Amino acid sequence: MADATPMSVREVRYLGDPVLREVCREVEAVDEEIRSLVDDLIETMYEQDGIGLAAPQIGIPLRVFVYDVRDEDVEPGVLVNPRIVDATGTQREVEGCLSIPGLEEVVERMDRVVIEGLDRDGAPVRLEAEGLLSRCLQHENDHLDGVLFIDRVSPLKRRMLLKKWSKTEGSRR
């Protein structure tokens, strides 16, 4: 394994960092650089005990995310250039984000989604998901458009969340 680039845990970007609000660029080729990015996302996701992590959350505005909802029936994975091609129903559950630690709120999402993209080798993948995996894929996909879960709650709840966030700001910096 001497030739392999070592995986590394990267710094997670927090709310307020402009990279989280970027519309990320499509990946042109799934090459070694992208595979290395995927490895770092996976390493960082597990280190942070998250169930998903998108490239902009480690400062890279590319359309890539990883996920692992810790369900033995659901394979963890990666999606490059993902696209939600079908969505039905709604679900409402509490959601959080590694980029906004300490904040949680009920978010309405589509219940079932079909999502297409590329895997770590650049091969096409098509996933059908419901429940938590579906929620996770929608949350991570939002990150690639600069959208955070706090954008998907009512203005009143968002104000309360942002107030709480600003109160704890000192402890993060």
Q: Which residues are marked as active site?
A: 140
C-alpha closest to that of 123 among 29, 5, 53, 55: 29
Q: Are 57 and 99 in contact (CB under 8 A)?
A: yes
Q: Which residue is nearest to Ni ion (CB)?
A: 97
Smallest distance, Ni ion to C-beta of residue 142, A: 8
| Closer of 55 and 97 to Ni ion (Cβ) | 97
Smallest distance, Ni ion to C-beta of residue 152, A: 11
| Closer of 96 and 122 to Ni ion (Cβ) | 96
Smallest distance, Ni ion to C-beta of residue 98, A: 6
Which tokens is 160 given? 């309360």
* Residue 103 CB contacts under 8 Å (≥ 6 apart), including other chains: 96, 97, 150, 161, 164, 165
List contacts with Ni ion (CB under 5 A): 97
